[in-house]
Amino acid sequence: MKVARPVRLGTSIALGLVLAAALGAQSAGIALTKKAPDTAIAAFPLNGLAYENIASAVFLATTEATGSPEEGAKAARPWALEAYRLEPLVPKAHAILALAEDDPEKRKQILDAALALNRREPRLQAVVLQQQVAGADYPAAIASLDRILRVKPSQYNELFPVLINVFAQEGATDEFAKILDGSSEWHGRFFRFAASQPSALRNMAELRRKMSFDDEITDRALLRNLVREGDVATAYSLYRRIAGAADAVGAWSSDYPPFDWSLTDDAGLRAQPSLSGKGLEISVKPGKGGVVARRLIRAPATPFAIAVDHTIERQQALQDIDITVRCAGQSDEILNANLVRQNDGYRIDSLPDECNFIEIGLEARAWSGRSAVNEEIEAIRVVRR
């Protein structure tokens, strides 16, 4: 008995030390779960919450890189499975597993089980949103996204690509106009995102006709990207509505390019309105050159002339400033001439078929070893012939 008592005592101490170490590792794992899930797993490999956080991080990174929540979920699926094995009640892992499932029925089963455990997890709600989109239930999808982003606006990166699929559908703008009233932070973010997506541009233009975005940055991006996608007529119609402007070619406004002026502001190559606003100051340092100003206008009836009003006297400057004209979206120039050759304007007798808009440009250069160009253009006018 005297021998057994020390043995039992030693065993108890050893077990206590092992248990304390295990509990300490678990505590360290829990503490590190959110901030450093990899370290948490190393400290306590049975930490399901750490696996869930890794799955979430992989999901977010892949979704952002590919623009596809499904691809994000498939990349994160191994981590989510391990999280579910260790911690069956983890809601983010449920959401990722549901989103990674290709079979609609299996996805619904996973989602129903997950929602029975937790209806407040934003990522689960995002999968619900996916189901609504797949089922073409657009009003419910928009309402779901509104609920999610009002609670957790930071999820817009992963949810906006899903919403774009809804927004791009024909007739969807009426539903969006009911909700996107600026009452939530995500509304403005969505407008900016949608204005950069080719599939959404036509509906963005339609929505802009119905309501104001109260955001000049979104308006500019929408006009610019419509033109870039070749839908110049829609962009021009929207420009007239936004700016309320006529084709006053001589006005140097640069509020809404490309139908207002796009002015270059680079080191050594710059164009800016004069202090009076009635002229355009051009500044080019030696060794620099390029387009300093351009804009689109509706093509005038032919024949017509382009006249450049100025008081430039220096012959070299007249040779180094060119006026160009081309059809919108085309590289071939209809006109390219310096100011020496102007006389009473540059006559254009005809335009190619389907040339409904023309781009007028100013190019300037200052040759190395010569003086800088610092001149002012008063106006550029379209003269009917």
Tens-place pLDDT, residues 166-196: 888 888 888 888 888 888 888 899 999 999 9
- Phi, psi torsion values for 308, nearest 5 degrees: -110, 115
The confidence score (pLDDT) of residue 246 equals 55
Tell me which residue of 241, 258, 242, 224 sits closest to 359, measured CA to CA: 258
Give 259's Cβ-side CA count (13 Å radius).
30
Q: Which residue has the tokens 């260790």?
A: 86
**How far is the CA of 23 from the CAs of 7, 27, 48, 154, 289, in angstroms?**
24, 6, 15, 34, 70
Distance of alpha carbon 74 from alpha carbon 52, whole angstroms: 14
Q: What is the pTM of this model?
A: 0.69
Pairing of strands 288-298, 357-366: antiparallel
How many other CB atoms sit within 10 Å of the CB of residue 258?
Answer: 23
**How far is the CA of 114 from the CAs of 98, 121, 124, 128, in angstroms?**
9, 10, 8, 11
The confidence score (pLDDT) of residue 146 equals 80
- Phi, psi torsion values for 96, nearest 5 degrees: -65, -40
Distance of alpha carbon 338 from alpha carbon 320, whole angstroms: 7
The confidence score (pLDDT) of residue 203 equals 95
The confidence score (pLDDT) of residue 90 equals 67
Alpha helices in 118-260 (DSSP H): 122-134, 138-151, 156-167, 173-179, 185-194, 201-210, 216-228, 232-243
Cα radius of gyration rounded to whole Å, the chain: 32
Distance of alpha carbon 241 from alpha carbon 218, whole angstroms: 15
Token pair, residue 107, equals 């996805």
The confidence score (pLDDT) of residue 79 equals 82
Give the mean pLDDT per block of 10 residues along the chain (385 residues): 43 35 36 41 54 78 78 82 74 74 75 61 64 72 78 79 84 85 86 95 95 93 96 95 67 91 95 89 96 96 94 92 95 93 88 94 93 94 88
The confidence score (pLDDT) of residue 91 equals 67
**Which residues on adjacent β-strands are paired with residue 384?**
304
- Phi, psi torsion values for 343, nearest 5 degrees: 55, -120
The confidence score (pLDDT) of residue 9 equals 38
Distance of alpha carbon 198 from alpha carbon 188, whole angstroms: 18
E strand or H helix that includes residue 149: helix 138-151
**Which residues on adjacent β-strands are paired with residue 375?**
282
- Phi, psi torsion values for 23, nearest 5 degrees: -65, -35
The confidence score (pLDDT) of residue 115 equals 62
- Identity of the amino acid at 255: D
Tens-place pLDDT, residues 297-313: 999 999 999 999 999 99
Assign 154 to helix, strand or coil.
helix
Distance of alpha carbon 356 from alpha carbon 358, whole angstroms: 7
CB neighbour list of residue 330: distance below 8 Å, 6 or more residues apart:
352, 355
CB neighbour list of residue 337: distance below 8 Å, 6 or more residues apart:
322, 323, 346
The confidence score (pLDDT) of residue 50 equals 76
